[in-house]
A and B are shown apart, each in its own frame.
Chain A
């Protein structure tokens, strides 16, 4: 190739590059659009013509007390299970078929300094009714759920006083949640009474350490022993993990406390899909087990409680969840049959000391499957349906519907249905069906 040709080639190539550089900046002609799928209206027309923005509240001053509250009128209709071997003919527990309950909750809080490092909070609950919870304890008409002072600094947090705290990642059952467990796990709101505690937290980067010293903790809320817990957690980008330890002084009768060692994690495995696991190891087990003669024994061995589950978001607030719960403390099939046979022999009105106290939901089997569906539509209606199926094939169905009348008032309907044979857990629940009607006000 001659030099002239080479030069010409270089020139042509260079001109090509130049042309490409310039062409990149030539505006593309607008392409005629298809009809606007949104109708082409002014999207801001919904706001109206005048600027009706509300005046935002003044920033909270340290002296201002913040108040939140709710009042509920609740009617409960129970279809009592006359065939329940725990409460045959309603002779052991003498439950009400119908109750009218008035409940109120009030929360007051206040920051004590301009920097909002110090705060106090009170949360109280009052009701015109008392009820027997799953531990056989009578819940009186009023209680202080929380009353504490807390402080937060850079990387530090401290709390002194009665407070609620939740441990664990699982969304149905929480084996590691032993510091302040719910009073009544069958109550889906899981609102619970706090425990007096000193809680110190140190957070550094992705790691956090919680140290808790608490008193008055016990399965039956009647102890005054010291307990202590440690939680070490690590939060990664799409997953997080935690390890737990909880132990304390012996019971007054000399039994060692059921020391708990546990772990949990949750992770986003795919957009909209969350998986979680939780496991707790308990050093002692003081539960009553029954032999063929109906005599109770305590087999004080270690046991595990484990949970694995997943939630799937289906768009909006529609989601489904499934959770498997393994409770090694639960009864085997033979132990469950022995228990019910022993229950057949209990005298009427013997709840306080009797075998009925050993009947606890999710303690009568070793395997459970929980399925849940939640949805919300038209900004007013919410639906929450769940099914809890035990290994013995009995099940508990629960459906809750909420209707927001206004921003302040709401109606709620809750349906409960326990089903199973006479040798099963939910087949022996003291209530076959229940209907709750709520009218509530939030302010």
Chain B
């Protein structure tokens, strides 16, 4: 009888402890996927259904070599239209993401749209199409929280993202996210041969901005080269008609 009571008491004690500690475990620290999603929200949700004017600056040996300006119509991470507005030589070129891994380039001088790869370089910068057009990573990568780290004097979560399959542009991404507000700070991109390929650093240009609006991509392969993307102006909107993000629309407007 005593034994049974002891059993019941032990079981009740454990159940109570579980009930108390389980919620604590989920609220105390977010898991890797939650951190990733909240970091990506900072970038992705800021752009959602908006028109963004941006400039892409290519530096070599700390000297500005080339400036591009683009107009970005961003519906979601799978539907983006980027039109080059500067320099005049490239004016009217359009890059379209018409769905997951469905990229098109429109060249106005030959009036033709051609299929391109997500790994294609964006205007021959260090950014690939997918780096700029698809900021949300949780769709194609499995995150693991591998620790915390100080980036400068900022406390960050350090995530390791592994590609779900080999069709993704990168095998692995190490992602640093600021602990205080889940602001994305840095990504290191690795090839399938586990070589570090390039690094993306992000910041907000002013405290009023909630998400990143300045991006610097540095390449291991070309050490003297850096590419900067800066958002100049964002105009939120109610959304775009579906045909905006169709290949058949590229030739029309």
Q: Which residues of B contact A166 (CB under 8 A)?
A: 110-112, 251
- Whether B246 lies near A208 (C-beta < 8 A) is yes
A21 at the interface (CB under 8 A from B): yes
**Residue in contact with A154 in the complex, picked from B89, B167, B241, CB distance below 8 Å:** B241
**Residue in contact with B6 in the complex, picked from A7, A68, A201, CB distance below 8 Å:** A7
- Whether B169 lies near A271 (C-beta < 8 A) is yes
- Selected interface stretch from A230-238, A280-288, A423-431: A230-238
Shortest Cβ gap from A354 to chain B (Å): 32
- Whether B10 lies near A11 (C-beta < 8 A) is yes
B208 at the interface (CB under 8 A from A): no
A165 at the interface (CB under 8 A from B): yes
Q: What is the 8 Å Cβ interface bit string for chain A, positions 15-30, against chain B (1 contact, 0 not)?
A: 1011001101101111
B29 at the interface (CB under 8 A from A): yes
Q: Which of A148-173 contact B (CB under 8 A)?
A: 150, 152, 154-155, 157, 159, 164-166, 171
A53 at the interface (CB under 8 A from B): yes
B interface, size bucket:
35 or more
A255 at the interface (CB under 8 A from B): no
Q: Which residues of B contact A273 (CB under 8 A)?
A: 117
Give complex CA distance A317, B90 in Å. 14
Q: A3-B3, A10-B11 are in contact. Are A29 and B59 (CB under 8 A)?
A: no
A56 at the interface (CB under 8 A from B): yes
Q: A375's closest neighbor in chain B, by CB?
A: B124
- Whether A18 lies near B17 (C-beta < 8 A) is yes
Give complex CA distance A272, B29 in Å. 39
- Selected interface stretch from A43-51, A79-87, A333-341, A360-368: A43-51
Give complex CA distance A31, B247 in Å. 47
Give complex CA distance A267, B243 in Å. 20
- Whether A379 lies near B124 (C-beta < 8 A) is yes
Q: Which residues of A contact B114 (CB under 8 A)?
A: 171, 274, 311
Give complex CA distance A348, B115 in Å. 48
Q: Which residues of A contact B167 (CB under 8 A)?
A: 270-271
A398 at the interface (CB under 8 A from B): no
Give complex CA distance A190, B252 in Å. 18
Q: Which residues of B contact A408 (CB under 8 A)?
A: 87-89
- Whether A44 lies near B214 (C-beta < 8 A) is yes
- Whether B148 lies near A30 (C-beta < 8 A) is yes
Q: B27's closest neighbor in chain A, by CB?
A: A25
Give complex CA distance A407, B91 in Å. 11
**Residue in contact with B62 in the complex, picked from A46, A164, A410, CB distance below 8 Å:** A46
Q: Which residues of B contact A24 (CB under 8 A)?
A: 25
Q: A7-B7, A51-B205 are in contact. Are A191 and B110 (CB under 8 A)?
A: yes
Q: Which residues of B contact A150 (CB under 8 A)?
A: 252-253
A293 at the interface (CB under 8 A from B): no
Q: What is the 8 Å Cβ interface bit string for chain B, positions 115-139, against chain A (1 contact, 0 not)?
A: 1111111001000000000000000
Q: Which residues of A contact B57 (CB under 8 A)?
A: 46-47
A394 at the interface (CB under 8 A from B): no
Shortest Cβ gap from A162 to chain B (Å): 13
Q: Which residues of A contact B100 (CB under 8 A)?
A: 237
Give complex CA distance A10, B7 in Å. 9
Shortest Cβ gap from B132 to chain A (Å): 15
Q: B248's closest neighbor in chain A, by CB?
A: A208
B216 at the interface (CB under 8 A from A): yes
Q: Which of B205-237 contact A (CB under 8 A)?
A: 205, 214, 216, 218, 220, 226, 228, 230, 232-233, 235
- Whether B252 lies near A152 (C-beta < 8 A) is yes
Q: A47-B228, A271-B169 are in contact. Are A164 and B111 (CB under 8 A)?
A: yes
Shortest Cβ gap from A341 to chain B (Å): 38
Give complex CA distance A40, B175 in Å. 16
Give complex CA distance A291, B171 in Å. 62
Shortest Cβ gap from A201 to chain B (Å): 7
A59 at the interface (CB under 8 A from B): yes
- Whether A165 lies near B117 (C-beta < 8 A) is no
Q: What is the 8 Å Cβ interface bit string for chain A, positions 395-428, against chain B (1 contact, 0 not)?
A: 0000000001001101000000000000000000
* 21 A-B contact pairs sorted by A residue (CB < 8 Å): A10-B14, A18-B17, A21-B22, A28-B148, A43-B201, A44-B216, A46-B62, A51-B205, A53-B232, A54-B55, A157-B249, A203-B249, A237-B101, A240-B247, A268-B115, A271-B169, A274-B116, A313-B116, A376-B124, A377-B124, A407-B67
Task: List residues of A whose CB falls within 8 A of some B CB.
Answer: 3-4, 7, 10-11, 14-15, 17-18, 21-22, 24-25, 27-31, 37-38, 43-47, 51, 53-54, 56-57, 59, 68, 70, 119, 150, 152, 154-155, 157, 159, 164-166, 171, 189-191, 201, 203, 208, 210, 233, 235, 237-238, 240, 266-268, 270-274, 276, 311, 313, 315-317, 376-380, 404, 407-408, 410, 442-443
